[in-house]
Amino acid sequence: MGKSKYALLIFFGACSYGILTAVVKVAIEAGYTVQEITGSQYLFSFLALLILFPFFQRGRLTGLQALQLLLTGSFLSLTGIFYGLSLKENPASVSVVLLFQFTWIGILLEACSEKRWPKPEKLVAILLLLIGTGFAGQFSLKGIGELEPAGVIYGFLAAVTYALFIFFTGKAAPKLPGLQRSTYLTFGGLLLMILTTSAQFITSGVIFTGLWKYALITGFFAVLPIICFAFSSPKLDSGLTTIVSSAELPASIIAALVILHESFSTGQFFGILLILTGIIISQLSFAPSHNKYLTG
């Protein structure tokens, strides 16, 4: 499979996360909490992978590799928790702009890891992504002084943990089969949800009151990205994976338009175009004269 095909898998996974956001909003409107939705989502995702576990290829896993995968999975779970807390404190437009700071944070992590300055096409892509995020998220500086500091901190923490998830997904046990890695990543996220909520989303019985319907859908759209990232991240540099992951925002806006019947402005359309342009520009790193990853 060529490098561009791995990038396409990341793009597909990011779009799945975007659809997931709209479904989560529907579940919240139905009266369920972020913790209940996220916890049940991880539970159903893990159970689905566990059922498939005996049937897919597995490699030898050391205790250290298992720990690395579990910790990496917990970063994604933390992202959901921090983002939910940010949404409680501040408008969604502010929270989404804060979350999408993961783009430059991811590039910074890669630069520190590789000990080299990012390529020009990545810097241009990041600039377009940040501007596009502002338009797509309908961010405005008006009233910025009225923001809750806690919400801003939570939003930025969500960006940090998401960037860490993307970065370490490509580093933790990269030679293991993708589905095996996905199972441990998902289990890591589930463990964190159990620890932070005292497993109330399981013990309270709320899953059987109707939450299970949303959990089935969110679990499906949550496990798809994990599988896509688990398969593709080890094949791509983390900076490129970070940039392509920004497809989540356009997908979430389109999903909100279709599923939630939300309005769609010209500014959002312009923002989506900027984000997609940034993603396309990032693919210039596949050119043989630029990318050392093309060979080998």
The model's confidence at residue 91, banded by pLDDT at 50, 70 and 90, is confident
In-domain check, residue 158:
yes
Q: How far apart are CA 29 and CA 25, in angstroms?
A: 6
Instruction: Report yes or no: 137 and 249 within 8 Å, Cβ to Cβ.
Output: yes
Task: State pLDDT tens for residues 96-139.
Answer: 888 888 989 999 998 898 888 888 888 898 999 989 988 887 77
Task: State pLDDT tens for residues 164-173.
Answer: 999 999 889 8
The model's confidence at residue 142, banded by pLDDT at 50, 70 and 90, is low
Q: Which residue has the higher pLDDT, 162 or 3?
A: 162
Count of structural domains within the chain: 1
The model's confidence at residue 56, banded by pLDDT at 50, 70 and 90, is confident
Reply yes or no on whether the pLDDT at 285 is more than 60: no
In-domain check, residue 171:
yes
Q: How far apart are CA 110 and CA 15, in angstroms?
A: 23
Structure tokens at 96: 């989404």
From residue 26, how far is each of 58, 122, 167 by CA, in Å?
37, 35, 30
pLDDT of residue 203: 87
In-domain check, residue 159:
yes
Structure tokens at 31: 């009266």
Q: Is 196 exposed, middle or buried (0-12, 13-18, 19+ CB in 10 A)?
A: middle
Task: State pLDDT tens for residues 239-262.
Answer: 888 888 989 888 888 888 888 887
Query: Cα dihedral sign for 154, 189, 186, 47?
Result: negative
- Mean pLDDT in the chain? 85
Reply yes or no on whether the pLDDT at 287 is more than 70: no
In-domain check, residue 225:
yes
pLDDT of residue 96: 82
Q: How far apart are CA 204 and CA 71, in angstroms?
A: 26
User: Structural domain of residue 42, as residue ranges?
Assistant: 3-115+143-241
In-domain check, residue 237:
yes
Query: Alpha helix locations (H) across the chain?
Result: 3-29, 34-52, 63-89, 92-99, 102-114, 120-136, 149-169, 178-197, 200-203, 211-232, 238-245, 248-259, 266-282
Torsion angle of alpha carbons 214, 215, 221, 224, nearest 10°?
A: -160
CA 273 to chain centre: 20
* Percentage, residues of the chain above pLDDT 90: 27
Tokens 């996905």 belong to: 182
In-domain check, residue 259:
no
In-domain check, residue 18:
yes
Q: What is the mean pLDDT of residues 9-20?
A: 89
In-domain check, residue 221:
yes
